[in-house]
């Protein structure tokens, strides 16, 4: 069975881990159908090399500010270039703090955009509200115009211009939101479909309402694999019970694909080092690959080329 998708996608590989797994991994005894083997047309923009900082002291409780700020600046430029080349950008991570550069570069190239953030977490803490000091719990706070005055400038963060409006952001899959984050979501009136709404409405109405709400703008999908239930994607840093099923997770991508407005995708928090067994790693990576294929037109009903001729 051959899948055919004539969508151009560009890869911006941010972790060497992905490269290895994409070429060598197996899932349920079979090689994972990697993006290399599928009939996607893609350009590999290569792994980004990130600078390391010996003097990356915590700023208050916030860890690794210099490294994260600098990495995101490079990523922002890379995504900007991919969009200017006219392609759909795919960023494979890695820490969800990478969404700062990915969304920033995307917005710099296309202007106003919609962000669909699929995650167990809201990742909207500010450096002042964070309880962990981890920047992966804060990326949205640097990107939202409405939070500009609430985010102190960290070292290597001064290049960031908030470029997303709260009304253009939708969350799907939330189930582990800190009190300060919940306050921010309510204060700004951010549209959010927590797992409660997924249970209530079903994933199809969630996606319908998401797209009705967002209107006609290029869509940036930021997909944290921990949105999916840890029984399916356990190899991730902050797993939370009660997530999207494999099918719900995939439906999100299929639905966004058919809007024709998917303009950039992040697939993040895939961390093979967090898998307890080989099986856990394979299930996580295999699911992440399937979600990406869903973003670019692979349908569960099957696919065929428009010019297909019966032999």
Residue 121 makes contact with Mn ion by CB under 5 A: yes
By CB under 6 A, name the one of 25, 45, 64, 123 that touches ligand ARG. 123
Active site residue 290: no
Round to whole Å and give the CA distance between 268 and 270.
5
Structure tokens at 5: 């998708």
Mark the segment that binds ligand ARG (CB under 6 A) among 123-131, 150-158, 186-194, 227-235: 123-131
Q: What is the number of alpha carbons within 13 Å of residue 211 lying toward its C-beta?
A: 16
- Least Å distance, CB 123 to ligand ARG, is 5
- Least Å distance, CB 102 to Mn ion, is 12
Q: Which residues, numbered 128-157, are part of the site for ligand ARG (CB under 6 A)?
A: 130, 132, 134, 136-137
Residue 274 makes contact with ligand ARG by CB under 6 A: no
Which residues have CB under 8 Å from 9's CB, separation 6+? 40, 41, 42, 87, 88, 90, 296
Residue whose entry in the numeric block shows the structure tokens 């998708």: 5
Residue 104 makes contact with ligand ARG by CB under 6 A: no
Instruction: Report DSSP letters for 229-246, one per residue.
Output: -TTT---SSS--SS-B-H
Active site residue 269: yes
- Least Å distance, CB 39 to Mn ion, is 30
Structure tokens at 104: 């920033």
Residue 298 makes contact with Mn ion by CB under 5 A: no
Residue 287 makes contact with ligand ARG by CB under 6 A: no
Round to whole Å and give the CA distance between 142 and 115.
14
Q: Which single residue brings its beta carbon nearest to ligand ARG? A: 137
- Least Å distance, CB 113 to ligand ARG, is 20
Tell me which residue of 225, 208, 182 sits closest to 21, measured CA to CA: 225
Residue 125 makes contact with ligand ARG by CB under 6 A: yes
Q: Kindly list the catalytic residues.
A: 96, 119, 121, 123, 136, 224, 226, 269
């Amino acid at each position: 069975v051959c899948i055919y998708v004539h969508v151009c996608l560009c890869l911006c590989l941010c972790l060497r881990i992905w490269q290895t797994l994409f070429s060598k991994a197996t899932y349920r005894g079979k090689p994972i159908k990697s993006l290399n083997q599928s009939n996607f047309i893609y350009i590999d923009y290569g792994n980004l090399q990130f600078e390391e900082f010996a003097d990356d002291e915590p700023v208050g409780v916030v860890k690794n500010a210099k490294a994260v700020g600098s990495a995101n600046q490079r990523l922002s430029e890379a995504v900007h270039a991919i969009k200017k080349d006219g392609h759909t950008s795919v960023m494979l991570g890695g820490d969800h703090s990478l969404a700062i550069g990915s969304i920033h570069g995307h917005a710099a190239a296309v202007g106003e955009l919609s962000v669909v953030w699929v995650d167990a977490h809201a990742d909207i803490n500010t450096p002042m509200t964070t309880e962990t000091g981890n920047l992966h719990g804060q990326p949205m706070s640097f990107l939202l115009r409405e939070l500009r005055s609430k985010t102190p400038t960290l070292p290597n963060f001064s290049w960031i211009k908030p470029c997303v409006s709260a009304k253009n952001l939708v969350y799907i899959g939330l189930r582990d939101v800190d009190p300060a984050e919940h306050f921010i979501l309510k204060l700004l009136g951010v549209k959010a479909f927590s797992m409660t709404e997924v249970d209530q409405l079903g994933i199809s109405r969630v996606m319908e309402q998401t797209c009705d709400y967002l209107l006609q703008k290029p869509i940036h999908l930021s997909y944290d694999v921990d949105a999916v239930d840890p029984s399916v994607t356990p190899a991730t840093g902050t797993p939370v019970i009660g997530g999207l099923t494999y099918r719900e997770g995939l439906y999100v991508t299929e639905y966004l694909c058919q809007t024709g407005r998917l303009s950039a995708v992040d697939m993040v928090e895939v961390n093979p080092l967090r898998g307890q067994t080989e099986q856990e790693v394979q299930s996580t990576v295999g699911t992440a690959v399937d979600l990406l294929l869903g973003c670019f037109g692979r349908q569960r009903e099957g696919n065929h080329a428009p010019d297909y001729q019966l032999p």
